[in-house]
Structures are given as C-alpha cells and as structure tokens.
Amino acid sequence: MPLDLSGRSTMTDSLKDAQDAAQRVRYARDRAQERAEAQGPGGGERFRFDMAKNGLRISPSVTPDLAARLSAVLSRLRVPSSSIEAYVYQSSEIQAMCCMVNVRAAVLSFSSGLIQLLSLEEFEFVAGHEIGHFLLGHEARATNVGSLDYFLQYPAQEISADRIGLLACGSVEAGVRALMKTGCGLGDDHLRFDVSAYISQLRDLKTPDLRSAAMPTHPSMAVRCRALLWFDMYSGSGGGGRGTSLSKLDGLVAKDLEAFCEQPMRQRLQQHKDDYLLWYAAYLAVEDGRLEKYEQSALKTLLAEVDTRAGEPQDYTYNKLMGHVTGMSVADVLGFVMERLQDARKLLIQETGDRYAAEKHDVESLVERRFGECRKAAFK
C-alpha cells in the first residue's frame, strides 16, 4: 500500500488506537509534546525522496523476509501499512532512523550494516523501536537544542521506544540481543548472550567528572537492556509479566538514568550555575562602588561552596577573582563584572532552555539570602 502523503489532520481509527496504546507504556520522564506536522518544511518528504533515490525499499517483491517481518510488526502494533514506508541504504555503520512525513505517515531507514548484523526477529525489535518514535510523537524532540532538557529527553525517549520495540517483536531475548549487537557491533559469531554479565558492567561503575565532555543523546545499551528486562516484568508488556506496576519500573529506570546518563549533564549544568553565581554575587558586592566587609564575607562563603563542588582548594575562586580586579578603577571593576555576568547569563539560557527562569531564580535567591544573612550578622 502506498504511503499516505495526504497530510490530513484526521487520522484513521487504527493509527489513533496504536498511538493510544503506545502512550500507555510511555516512560514517565518522556514528556509528551505537541505533534509537529513534519520535521521542518518538507523535511520528511525530502528524506523520503533521498531514500527512494539512493536506498532500497523494503517490499515483498525485493526483500520478502524483511517485508514479512515489517508487516508483522505493523500488525502487532496496529499501525496501518499506509503509515510506514521503510528503506535499506548502503552503509557499514549500525544505524536506524524514523523520519515523520506528516501526522499520519513516517519513513524508516536501516543501514545495510545493521540489517546484516541482526536476525529477522531482532530486526522486528529495531523496526518497532523506530515506529515507537513515530507513535509517541518524538519528531517534536528537537526543541531547545543543546539545553539540559534536550539531552534529558533523548534517553527518556529511547526507553519508551524500546518498550514499543518489545511489544513489536514479542521477545525480550530478541530485544536484548538487538541492543547488545547494536551497542558493540559484533554478531552471533563473536557473542555469547550472557545478559547478566553484560549488565554487570554497570556494577561499581563511578561516573567521572564529565562536565566538559560532549553530552550523550542515548542511554548506555546496558542501561537499556536492564530497563527492557524490567519492562518485561510489567503485565502489560505481553512478555509473561508478573504484575509489577509500571510506575515502580519507571522509578527503577530513573535511578539508572540518573546514575549513568544524567550525571554528566547535571554536572555541566551545575558548572554553568556556579559561573552565574560567581558573577551575580560579584555584581551585588560591587554595584554600589564599595566592597563592605559583610559583602566580602558573603562572597567568600558562596565561592567556597563553588570551590568544594569543583574540587578546588579553599578560597581558590575568591582569590582568582580578587586577582583579576586588583588595580582596576571602580568603574572598570563594575564594567568587568557586568560583562562577565552577561556572558554567564547567556550560557545559562543556552544550557537550560525552558528551565532558565527557574534556575536563574534559584541561584539569585541563594546569593541574595547569603548576602542578607551576612549583613544581618555584621550589624547586630
């Protein structure tokens, strides 16, 4: 059946049912977003054109085994065949992608390297995972690019899509095998699928200080494997579940994501908040052209906390600040501090996106409260 390119907002009951079913197993921290019509003006259509021009469409006549498995996935997820078109393209990389064409249709792409790596049952899991992104409206995820919210949403969306992948293939073993293979790039000839040994890699793992590292967009495959095994215990998964509540499982997943995925993101956020704290505190201290003793005390106390979080010696940041401004005129000091404060504010906006106002308020409230306490103590 040809892909539905009408773009009409009214969708079939079948697709709506599939979306509702996917919504019921959405990971709690994967926030639902308003659906976009497409990924940019004509983005989905362009992607479909490129795939049709350079790839091979999955069809009964050319790729019968893949087509049969894709048809089975669509049937299990109750997605109309007119909503999904799939292609294989030549690449040794291990990649799969879903691109929305309109609210009723999406195009899937699979690299040839991925197809050659997976069994047909494992392919069902990956295809279901990509369809899950479409059903859950993840095409709207590219908002506030580069912000903390942006990076926190990606791992949450992967957890949700993995759940749809399990519903699509009906085998937690196939799902775990697919994750292990795509994570390491090794096939059946080199792998013994000892899931416990694989997941044990997380044990006693201490996340290093990654505040300057590139932010990850996907949780580790070991984390995803454990989350998938937990989801299989959920009675609604169709995998022989034992009645564990979804909210309890979401709590377990959240702990793993916080420990192994979100920590470097939060470290980077704290670094930007501390930078803003430094310059906001410095501004409060010098805005009237004088640096009172109680202001020095408040500044020292606040920056000592920054030093502790950064692992620096006591008074390191305070002494560094004083070294910068020593010898400057009052006007030059104020200008210097205000310039740095504006730079810190811009970085905080970039980092926090929609959370900027709340994060800024938290920092400023802390600084103002500490200055007030020191002033009160000085004038008893």
Q: What span, in angstroms and rounded, lies between the C-alpha atoms of 42 and 294?
A: 60
Mean pLDDT to the nearest integer, 60-78:
97
Q: What span, in angstroms and rounded, lies between the C-alpha atoms of 357 and 249?
A: 32
Residue 342 pLDDT greater than 90, yes or no: yes
pLDDT band at 354 (very low <50, low <70, confident <90, very high): confident
pLDDT band at 10 (very low <50, low <70, confident <90, very high): very low
Q: Which residues on neighbouring strands pair with residue 89, listed in sequence order?
A: 111
pLDDT of residue 8: 53
Same domain, 187 and 108: yes
Residue 108 pLDDT greater than 80, yes or no: yes
Mean pLDDT to the nearest integer, 77-95:
97
Same domain, 227 and 279: no
- Per-residue CA distances from 240 to 69, 171, 177, 211 (Å): 22, 10, 18, 41
Amino acid at position 86, single letter: A
Residue 8 counted as domain residue: no
pTM of the model: 0.74
Residue 286 pLDDT greater than 80, yes or no: yes
Residue 251 counted as domain residue: no
Q: What span, in angstroms and rounded, lies between the C-alpha atoms of 227 and 166?
A: 11
Spell 131-142 as b/e; 16+ CB within 10 A means b. bbbbbbbbbebe
**Domain boundary pick from 199, 229, 244:** 244
Q: What is the mean pLDDT of the chain?
A: 86
Range of the domain at 349: 267-378
Same domain, 214 and 100: yes
pLDDT band at 224 (very low <50, low <70, confident <90, very high): very high
- Per-residue CA distances from 11 to 16, 91, 124, 235, 272 (Å): 7, 34, 25, 29, 44
Same domain, 52 and 147: yes
- If phi over 0 gives left and psi between -120 and 50 gives alpha, with beta otherwise, what is residue 8? beta
pLDDT of residue 211: 44
Same domain, 227 and 336: no
Residue 250 counted as domain residue: no
pLDDT of residue 280: 97
**φ and ψ at residue 110, rounded to 5 degrees:** -130, 130
**Domain boundary pick from 244, 275, 303:** 244
Same domain, 224 and 132: yes
pLDDT of residue 110: 98
Same domain, 149 and 291: no
What total number of domains does the chain contain?
2
Residue 259 counted as domain residue: no
Identify the weakest region by mean pLDDT among 9-18, 221-230, 362-371.
Answer: 9-18
